[in-house]
Structure 1
């Protein structure tokens, strides 16, 4: 598969850089948060999970440890080389067509905020098309003030992640610039993000035939969605 840089996305720093500007070595250093526990509480035990945009397996590996069967998808071969114990698939999310169905489809890492509306629709259609009867989609959203509280920083392992800027570059689209500083290396990532209010997010789901089943966190950043025809 030919891998092309996504327009408006780029990154700098040591090692391989993915089409959306992520540094493989950087993401191998960033520890996972409590998201695997939240996922485990929100879906049936032992479910089959299609993880879209798995990266180096930061969530894949904890989900495997919790007894789930995971198929991990990413468009970066260098990312997939770091994944252990799961079936891996090399593909952009928006064009994926496995002809298979899963109990859970996972779209984390704020991917639903893709700068391109066509890409976002493609990702959400992929979620719906790969969902088994009675299954659900788990989606991670940006926080309501994610683009407003800038600059900001947080600790990541023995380094610091800084959101340096979030600037409008088109109707409804921001260019976001990150810096990750570690004692021995610095990486940057620039990507496009389309902020979505709750109403806009729910409309985006409705466009492809999904609806919110439940907001799983008080801040609404994790959502369980199901087919709109589900009663």
Structure 2
């Protein structure tokens, strides 16, 4: 079985995410981090936008936005926000943006998929643009263990943690009222040298860290390319 799978009420995406659950999640300050890293009014493409939990507040902050997600059920929750249904690895929109966002620690996927994600980021980034990433905190891979906590009416129970070399497989139950969703997924660490190498392979270079825990960071193009129409 794939390490990415899920169960619970409503539709489950190919990577195990429960659409109804993600539609319940509140913003958790992500948009403000991204907004502070970009010029006012910068256009933003979010890869893997889901239900728009981050994209919607970015639009409210004055950014022209577009989302990409492979799940039509997720995209149905975006309302009037523009979006394209496609996989991150293969989407090619034929235009560039001032910023490309890859959040939700998706950069901690397996190395081959990570490099494909980064190539898509670079393909859609304006010559002077900024890519913004969220990664798993590096020390999590050593400290992750079964835990439980509750916030905003959502009880999050890390039920299983398995280590297979550097990779960590996790099973989490989410409880909201009488509803329960389960999500199983894997996270792959990426250290400084590997990150620099993967960015360089995609013609990107590390920019700056946006948070003290080094979970949010930027990258910029290494070499100029012919500009496309925004």
What is the TM-score when the length of structure 1 is the normalising length? Answer: 0.91
Query: What does 1:167-182 align with in structure 2 at a 5 Å threshold?
Result: 167-169=162-164, 172-182=166-176
The match for 2:65 among 54, 62, 70 is: 70
The SS at the match of 1:28 is helix
Q: Which structure 2 residue ranges, 5 or more long, are not aligned?
A: 225-230
Partner of 1:35: 30
Asked if 1:84 is matched to 2:82, the reply is: no
Stretches of structure 1 lacking an aligned partner (at least 5 in a row): 1-5
Deviations 1:37-61 (A, max 9, x none): 1111110111110000000110111
Contact 2:21-2:181 within 8 A present in 1 as well: yes
The structure 1 residue matched to 2:210, chosen from 198, 210, 216, is: 216
Q: Deviations over 1:167-224 (max 9, x none)?
A: 234x543322111112221111011221122332222212222111100111100001
> Could you report, residue by residue, the CA deviation over 1:8-54 in whole angstroms, capped at 9, with x for unpaired residues?
21101000000100000001111110111111111011111000000
CA offset at residue 119 of structure 1? 1.3
Match of 1:3 in 2: none
Q: Aligned-residue CA RMSD in angstroms?
A: 1.6
Change (3 A) 1:52 1:156: farther
SS in 2 for 1:82: helix
Greater mean deviation of Cα atoms: 15-24 or 195-204: 195-204
Secondary structure class of the residue paired with 1:8: coil
